[in-house]
Structure 1
């Protein structure tokens, strides 16, 4: 867990957020800032601001304000994948053969197997699309958070493909 993740987790429920440029300010119920997520490495400034707005909108959505730690953890993990690991939209778009979904399936299946230590279980690794150096299971809950964030990444990728197809049809 990164220093930022720890601060967010220790802040407890984050029922509100506000976008400032390409950062998402995490606010508690009293309106005090308890954390900040900087969106970087996602295209230009406008793209970063759009991602920041999407994260803020998700945090402000009804599903998150029902005090769901799970939803908040998935959003933090997705932001971590983009900002810390550098898995930008452009990078994700290169994986158009189902690799991101397969990675999510691997982590999900590993959680099903109940592996609570670093595992190279053949059943889960059988789905893994990349070099085993990138296979980093931990606990069943953490593996499910990673899986959910990867599912979100794949849905976002599919949405971009659909948007590009729609724009292509409009331009014909």
Structure 2
């Protein structure tokens, strides 16, 4: 994977994460749901189709789970 491909993937994950926050899914919301629930949701998005869009959503939920742990 080239650095530009990785850069685009990470940029898309970041944009998805920022979109969550603008919809009200902020740090407090994530904390209330907990790491386990965020990981469960990510697994649902990463389901059988493996579309890029769904994987970006899943990755952004995993980032949210990591952020909950880091707080």
TM-score, reference length from structure 2: 0.85
RMSD, matched Cα? 1.4
Greater percentage in helix? 2
Identify which of structures 1 and 2 has the higher relative contact order when contacts are C-alpha pairs closer than 8 Å and 6+ apart: 2
Unaligned runs of 5+ in 1: 1-65, 116-139, 161-172
SS in 2 for 1:94: helix
Structure 2: segments with no counterpart, 5+ residues: none
**After TM superposition, which residue ranges in structure 1, 4 or more long, deviate above 3 angstroms?**
none
| 1:1-172 matches, cutoff 5 A | 66-67=3-4, 68-83=7-22, 85-96=23-34, 98-108=36-46, 110=47, 113-114=48-49, 140-160=51-71
Q: Provide closer, same or farther for how the CA distance between residues 96 and 90 of structure 1 changes in structure 2, counting only shifts above 3 A.
A: same
How many residue pairs get matched?
Answer: 67
Larger radius of gyration: 1
Shift of 1:97: 6.0
Shift, 1:96, TM fit: 2.3
State the TM-score, normalizing by the size of structure 1.
Answer: 0.37
